[in-house]
Structure 1
Amino acid sequence: MSELMHVSGLTFRHSDQKRWLKKPEVFALGPIELTVKRGETIAIIGENRAGKSLLAKLLVGAIPADEGEIFLSNVMYNAAKKKSTKSYNSSNDIRMIFQHSSEAMNPGIPVGRILDEPLKLNTELSESERKTLIEDILVKVGLLRDHYYFYRHMLSDGQQQRVAIARAMVLQPKILVADEPFAALDPSVRSQTVNLILKLQKELGLSFIFISHNLGIVRHIADRIIVMDGGQIVETGKTETIFRWPQHEMTKKLILAYQSLVPQQTLATSE
């Protein structure tokens, strides 16, 4: 697999305002170094406030970094707040799927218009060309062409999540970043969504970076795992290596917690 993305020195610092009788809280993330290969699935795991979601937002350009560079498709972007010749957050090669798909959908706008907006802003396609592309994307994610006309209240939770995936895919990115995409779904829908992601990856050669507390899903679909603690990457490695021989204390803690919830027979089978 060829290298698609390289992150170098990505750093973010945030300080809350000082309050009465309370010291200001300072959270620093990084410096982060990581690479993503074409067709690879990377899982980012860690406890709450480890910096996982913040890192995801920095990677897609939703939040500017204080320092750092991101190389994407052999183009270098300055990810920091200062102005640069290339605006990283305008890159369409990397898009994000949010955790709560329903909250990201305007209830007064049909699916077609929701998916049409990024195309109108980022392409020169005609209206008919955009409609055809949107209908094709809907089919790819397991929906019907007629869902183009549906509103949010007409869709199940699983269908709303598929619309969220379609919106992330409509500009044909090379990397999809997903922040807890399965957390709000019931087990059967979650399984369908996982299978959909694996199918899309195989068909389109997409790379995935996803954040999840569900280590069962992580073990099932991730090629590589990044473990975060206190805004730092404390361990990284191939999925089975991390599960079988965790090195850092935080990794051991997460794996032990996972093993305590999984029937020992299941663990023995997976070994």
Structure 2
Amino acid sequence: MTGNAAGTGDGGATTGRLLLAAAPIGRPEDASARLRAALAGADIIAAEDTRRLRRLAADLDVAISARVVSYYDQNERARAAELLGELLAGRDVLVITDAGLPGVSDPGYRLVRAAVDEDVPVTALPGPSAVTTALVVSGLPTDRFCFEGFPPRKAGERARRLASLAAEPRTMVFFESPRRLDDTLAAMVEAFGTDRPAAVCRELTKTYEEIRRGPLGELAAWAEDGVRGEITIVVGGAPEPEGLSEPADLAAAVAVRESAGTPRKEAIVEVAKENGVPKRLVYDAVVAARK
């Protein structure tokens, strides 16, 4: 990569280039010829796990001559500043994580943001991604989707996050640890319902790849005995609401409950739940009707 810099800093000096390199998510043979060449020619390689990088290089029969530094969650902030200095000094930096593309639930964003702010060229070496791989094999709609990363570890925070996604119409993709899969699927049942279609993708592209498809309730029961391997969860989006949707109708439904003695706040919650709409939408409809 040396000598291929294509940017200038504030002082007009040539800067290095930041390359985000996608690593295989399972089989080393999925690595591209471009990844092999980039690893062999890099000035500096910032790796999430330097030992795994060395193993990948050995599997690919690539001799690494670059300076290799660790770049993981705990040192990302400090290391990003150091790597930015190398880029501004004219050296190219290749960032690689354990699997998939840097910056997608892995270190990378801070360095990219800093490089962009300093007008350092940033490019990506595309390759495998657990997000899109799981999406296309899930059997769920792929035309619109969103990536939600890892759900919060704490039960309360996880429940609140999932509840906020209950009305999300797009297919949702999550990462999860096998140790927390059963708890997360149970929380998804609570937030999205027992019958919401989903898929649990385990060990994608590896020898023991397994794709479990079905309603969330069935998947939660399956996961109770424990599951091993790298996990990606795909959940279908919320179905189109079949109930009321017009503000005037929602406000009228709340008024009926209020006249029967139900407190307004409780009535708003009930109407929102019955019609599959956000509570805020019902609240705004009630406020508008009162005006």
Give the TM-score band, short-chain normalised: under 0.3
Relative contact order, higher structure (CA 8 A, sep 6+): 1
- In the superposition, the TM-score normalised over structure 1's length comes to 0.28
Work out which of the two has the higher radius of gyration on C-alpha atoms and give 1 or 2.
2
- Select the structure that is richer in strand: 1
TM-score, scaled to structure 2 = 0.26
